[in-house]
């Protein structure tokens, strides 16, 4: 069994909890996910079952879209509602106007630090473990791309914002850094991931409702990557790890390959009109058929 699940992760569970639940439901240990969501967050979590886990890296998983609830007037140790609150600071009376003036500096390519309470590893150890033991570690800045950071609604000290960003962006850090820039502190109080690449929350299934019928076959999940059908001899050569030569040169750098039955069994790198397989599904593995 193999395929892709679009799961609506609920609040209060980790992404790994979702993986463990899918393992139990589908009777397989080979389950993986793309793009961790914190327990506080809900929304789209892309999960792969069986050999499809090898194809997660090729799925169209960017940009990511979030709707974030941000509270101003406090910061927290975790940058979200689960951390310890700092002392209260006055929130600007014209919060919306202030936000509109500073938000442009949070768009485009920006540098951000991951929260100290995060799974980012330093010296082979997750940073949150250092934080829990009271140790300070140096956090390296990372470059992320923020396509859009817009206010949807606002009250005296709370804002709902829509953020479109690259993978690896910490929305908690965006909330915290925004509060630091304004000077009153801020933290993330709620988060929904509404889109991952071309996968939207409307396509997701709640965890309790997942069945094998929810699996999306790779030929539906991989596009816009081109799909190239092969004959039996070409398929056999790819399964043996050998290059094959096409009569026409693909325009993409990576392509998905279809065996004669019409199912994806490999992703290959394109070099001119030569295809070099990067990953291959063994023959005889049942695919999702939806």
Query: CATH number, domain at 206?
Result: 3.30.2350.10
Neighbours of 26 (CB within 10 A): 21
Give pLDDT, residue 127: 60
Q: Does the pLDDT of residue 155 top 70, yes or no?
A: yes
* pLDDT given at position 228: 96
Catalytic (active-site) positions: 38
CATH number of the domain where residue 245 is located:
2.30.130.10
Query: Residue 135: its pLDDT value, please?
Result: 65
What mean pLDDT comes out for the span 42-57? 96
The pLDDT mean for the chain works out to: 92
pLDDT at 181 over 60: yes
184/127 same-domain check: yes
The pLDDT tens digits for 114-131 are 877 666 666 666 666 655
Q: Give 152: exposed, middle or buried? Use CB within 10 Å, 0-12, 13-18, 19+.
A: exposed
Spatial separation of the C-alpha atoms in residues 240 and 122, rounded to whole Å: 39
Q: Does residue 173 belong to any structural domain of this protein?
A: no
| Surface-to-core class of residue 66, CB atoms within 10 Å of its CB (0-12 exposed, 13-18 middle, 19+ buried) | buried
Q: Is residue 55 part of a domain?
A: yes
Q: Among 69-78, 79-88, 135-144, 207-216, which is the least confidently predicted range?
A: 135-144
User: Number of folded domains in the chain?
Assistant: 3
| 129 and 240 part of one domain | no
Is pLDDT above 80 for 102?
yes
Which range of residues forms the domain containing residue 97? 64-167+179-188
From the number of C-beta atoms within 10 Å of its C-beta (0-12, 13-18, 19+), residue 113 rates as middle
CA distance 65 to 196: 7
Residues 160 and 225 placed together within one structural domain of the fold:
no
Give yes or no for residue 174 having a pLDDT over 80. yes
Residues 14 and 48 in one domain: yes
**What pLDDT does residue 283 have?**
79
Tell me the pLDDT band of 43, cut-offs 50, 70 and 90: very high
Structural domain contains residue 273: yes
pLDDT at 289 over 70: no
For the chain, what is the radius of gyration of the CA atoms?
Answer: 22
pLDDT category, 1, cuts 50, 70, 90?
confident
Specify the range with the lowest mean pLDDT, choosing from 116-125, 184-193, 197-206: 116-125
pLDDT tens profile 52-98? 999 999 999 999 999 999 999 999 989 999 889 989 999 999 999 99
Same domain assignment for residues 14 and 80: no
Q: pLDDT at position 269, please?
A: 96
Kindly tell me if the per-residue pLDDT of 284 is higher than 80. no
- The H or E element containing residue 236 is helix 232-239
* Domain match, 134 and 87 both: yes
Give residue 115's pLDDT.
79
Burial class (CB in 10 A: 0-12, 13-18, 19+), 27: exposed
């Amino acid at each position: 069994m193999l395929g892709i699940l679009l799961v609506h992760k609920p609040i209060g569970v980790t992404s790994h909890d979702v993986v463990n639940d899918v393992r139990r439901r589908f009777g397989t240990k080979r389950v993986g996910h793309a793009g961790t969501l914190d327990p506080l967050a809900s929304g789209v979590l892309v999960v792969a079952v069986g050999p499809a886990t090898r194809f997660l890296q090729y799925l169209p998983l960017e940009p990511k879209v979030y709707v974030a609830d941000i509270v101003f007037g406090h910061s927290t140790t975790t940058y979200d509602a689960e951390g310890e609150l700092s002392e209260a600071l006055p929130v600007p009376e014209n919060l919306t106007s202030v936000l509109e003036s500073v938000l442009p500096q949070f768009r485009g390519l920006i540098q951000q630090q991951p929260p100290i309470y995060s799974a980012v590893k330093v010296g082979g150890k997750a940073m949150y473990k250092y934080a829990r033991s009271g140790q300070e570690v140096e956090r390296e800045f990372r470059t992320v791309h923020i396509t859009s950071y817009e206010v949807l609604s606002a009250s005296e000290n709370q804002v709902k914002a829509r953020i479109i960003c690259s993978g690896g962006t910490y929305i908690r850090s965006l909330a915290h850094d925004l509060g630091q820039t304004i000077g009153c502190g801020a933290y993330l109080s709620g988060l929904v991931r509404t889109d991952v690449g071309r996968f939207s929350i409307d396509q997701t299934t709640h965890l309790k409702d997942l069945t094998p019928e929810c699996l999306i076959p790779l030929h539906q999940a991989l596009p816009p990557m081109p799909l190239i059908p092969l004959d039996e001899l070409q398929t056999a050569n790819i399964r043996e790890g050998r290059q094959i030569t096409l009569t026409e040169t693909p325009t993409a750098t990576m392509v998905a390959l279809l065996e004669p039955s019409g199912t994806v069994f490999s992703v290959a790198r394109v070099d001119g009109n030569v295809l070099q397989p990067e990953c291959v599904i063994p023959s005889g593995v049942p695919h999702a058929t939806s």
